């Protein structure tokens, strides 16, 4: 009797655990589906750029919001289409030049980032 009762409890426990994990899995799949496409499909260049960003840029720039840190938050920067400072147009070329030259509180990266890394970080900023 004791053993059967024990087995019964285990079956209930396993069923509960299985249900719990099934719900968790469905929730996480649903979250993936709801996430913006770029979150899961960063190009190789943008993936490398993200690492550069975290190392060199994140101390001054938010990637997740447009809120100012030291510099402007870069979420939606390309969608906005213009630089905060002078309203000039956002293009891969103008962003690259800006990063290389720096401005005000933003240091120039011309001598500390290879051109290919600047391209990578631009590719990443474009996805924000």
> Which pair of structure tokens corresponds to residue 78?
């390309």
CB of 47 to ligand HEC, least distance (A): 15
Q: CB of 80: closest distance to ligand HEC in angstroms?
A: 7
Which residues, numbered 18-77, are part of the site for ligand HEC (CB under 6 A)?
56-57, 59-61, 70-72, 74, 77
Closest by Cα among 14, 34, 47, 85 to 95: 85
**Number of neighbouring beta carbons within 10 Å of residue 101:** 12
How far the first Cα of the chain sits from its last, in Å, is 62
| Selection from 80, 115, 112 nearest residue 97 by Cα | 115
Residue 105 as a binder of ligand HEC (CB under 6 A): the answer is: yes
8 vs 81, which CB is nearer to ligand HEC? 81
Cα 11 from Cα 26, distance rounded (Å): 22
> In the range 82-101, which residues lie near ligand HEC by CB under 6 A?
83-85, 95, 98-99
Number of C-alpha atoms within 13 angstroms, CB side, residue 80?
16
Query: With CB under 6 A as the contact rule, which of the stretches 6-14, 15-23, 35-43, 106-114 interacts with ligand HEC?
Result: 106-114
Binding residues for ligand HEC, per CB under 6 A? 56-57, 59-61, 70-72, 74, 77, 83-85, 95, 98-99, 103-107, 109, 121, 125
């Amino acid at each position: 009797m004791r053993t059967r009762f024990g087995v019964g409890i285990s079956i209930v426990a396993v069923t509960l655990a299985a249900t719990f994990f099934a719900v968790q899995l469905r929730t996480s799949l649903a979250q993936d589906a709801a996430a913006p496409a770029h979150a899961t499909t960063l190009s190789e260049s943008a993936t490398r750029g993200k690492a550069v960003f975290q190392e060199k840029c994140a101390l001054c720039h938010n990637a997740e919001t447009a809120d100012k840190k030291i510099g402007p938050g870069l979420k939606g920067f390309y969608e906005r289409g213009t630089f905060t400072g002078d309203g000039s147009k956002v293009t891969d070329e103008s962003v690259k030049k800006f990063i290389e030259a720096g401005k005000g509180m933003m240091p120039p990266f011309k001598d500390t980032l290879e051109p290919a890394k600047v391209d990578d970080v631009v590719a990443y900023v474009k996805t924000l």
